[in-house]
Structure 1
């Protein structure tokens, strides 16, 4: 998902990987902001590439290895298209910086034990360009209360096991007692590979969550992603806020 600008919540991006750049001074301000949300992947020949959406691939010509090792993660990135061969990818790009988003799989639905295991503290899902289902992930920008000093918050996603809708999922937030502070935003991405294969069709993915004003839901267009050759196992990445 590409986007030209994003107003950042303070601290949303921290410790981003900045790379040597040959861009001119006129681009310096634009380089401060992410212009895309991507999945960092490895091809069968170990080439690092960026999946921009369900169909578009980017070859980062100034990245010979992934800054996240062999892990597949969702990430915010600032890049610029360059006019050089893209070696079979849709576009060659120069990456100015890239910052990983907390990336994790879904968890089991434990029924009556969900509240105890995953918490049920309120949270708002922010309607934003980074709140999207694409490339087999549900990426969410969420808003909740953060105290100081910050403690670890836990966020998870599980299937509701709705027999009438196998693509219904629930977002859970455990503030770990950290309530009553200032509102702040976080980003998290969930791998949806435990959901039934959509067989190439686009379906409605229903997300449920408990907000500060009660139960809410939203729908996303969702299609099971195509396999990536030699795709590495998903692994959790760092977040700039205390988040698990």
Structure 2
């Protein structure tokens, strides 16, 4: 099985009620073990509560006990950490049949466009934040970011994260001087809402890339501007799979 090599940081372990044995694949079946993946929750149909998981490499997992989550009402396209055991009995149309132990939703957001009305510079903010991992799934539908920022991390102090299309993109930067930029320029923005920078916290967020789908043809990936914690403004290039 395809599993991203994310750093499974402290906050992830804090929300898990089961003991995890992290493995790089599901090919070793020495015995039942709790496994963890990042996936997308997809509905069987628009009106159905039944769902399945799509992994970031396009493989599909069938939740054998999915009815236990019928009351959760997951949104189509919701990103999540899934803790599960693989079952031996195959299910037609799926790569894996699994018993789900826990589903932890990942903050899943649309890209926003910077403007002078709703998404202003002041509202979006530009407070310091680090990106410790960024990657795009196989079908180029999501960018998932592992991040760090300072704050009190109390329930009444909410920070806001956005992936932003800037009002005016920077001039193309190419080594050959052709003027043709091979990357789509975006900005990862953080608004701390004035929270006191007490301790370092970590988390994950996934951004839907459908808003820039028509710009992907001929591009190598995304170039993302970040106001980092210790090194000021930096840009990172994340290639399409």
Q: TM-score range by the shorter chain?
A: 0.7 to 0.9
Pick from 192, 205, 209: which aligns with 1:188? 205
- 1:5 deviates by 8.2
- Would you say the 8 A contact 1:12–1:185 is kept in 2? no
Q: Deviations over 1:75-100 (max 9, x none)?
A: 01112221213121122111121100
- 1:183 deviates by 0.6
- 1:11 deviates by 6.3
- 1:198 deviates by 6.2
SS in 1 for 2:122: helix
Q: 2: CA distance between counterparts of 1:188 and 1:109? A: 19
Name the residue aligned to 2:90. Answer: 85
Name the residue aligned to 2:54. Answer: 51
- Would you say the 8 A contact 1:17–1:99 is kept in 2? no
| Aligned residue runs from structure 1 range 97-176, under 5 A | 97-110=102-115, 114-127=120-133, 131-134=134-137, 135=139, 136-147=141-152, 149=154, 151-160=157-166, 162=169, 164=172, 165=181, 167-176=184-193
- Would you say the 8 A contact 1:75–1:98 is kept in 2? yes
- Would you say the 8 A contact 1:3–1:35 is kept in 2? no
SS in 1 for 2:66: coil
Q: Which has the larger radius of gyration?
A: 2
Q: 1: CA distance between counterparts of 2:91 and 2:218? A: 29
**CA-atom RMSD in angstroms:** 3.1
Q: 2: CA distance between counterparts of 1:118 and 1:4? A: 30
Instruction: Pick closer, same or farther for the CA change 1:218–1:14 going to 2, 3 Å.
Output: same
- Would you say the 8 A contact 1:9–1:184 is kept in 2? no
Instruction: Pick closer, same or farther for the CA change 1:172–1:98 going to 2, 3 Å.
Output: same
- 1:7 deviates by 3.7
Number of equivalenced pairs: 209
Unaligned runs of 5+ in 2: 20-30, 173-180
Q: Deviations over 1:9-40 (max 9, x none)?
A: 2466537799xxxxxxx85xx63xx6210001
Instruction: Pick closer, same or farther for the CA change 1:16–1:133 going to 2, 3 Å.
Output: farther
When normalised by structure 1's length, the TM-score is 0.73
- Would you say the 8 A contact 2:184–2:219 is kept in 1? no
Q: 2: CA distance between counterparts of 1:198 and 1:39? A: 23
Q: 2: CA distance between counterparts of 1:199 and 1:5? A: 25
Instruction: Pick closer, same or farther for the CA change 1:142–1:193 going to 2, 3 Å.
Output: same
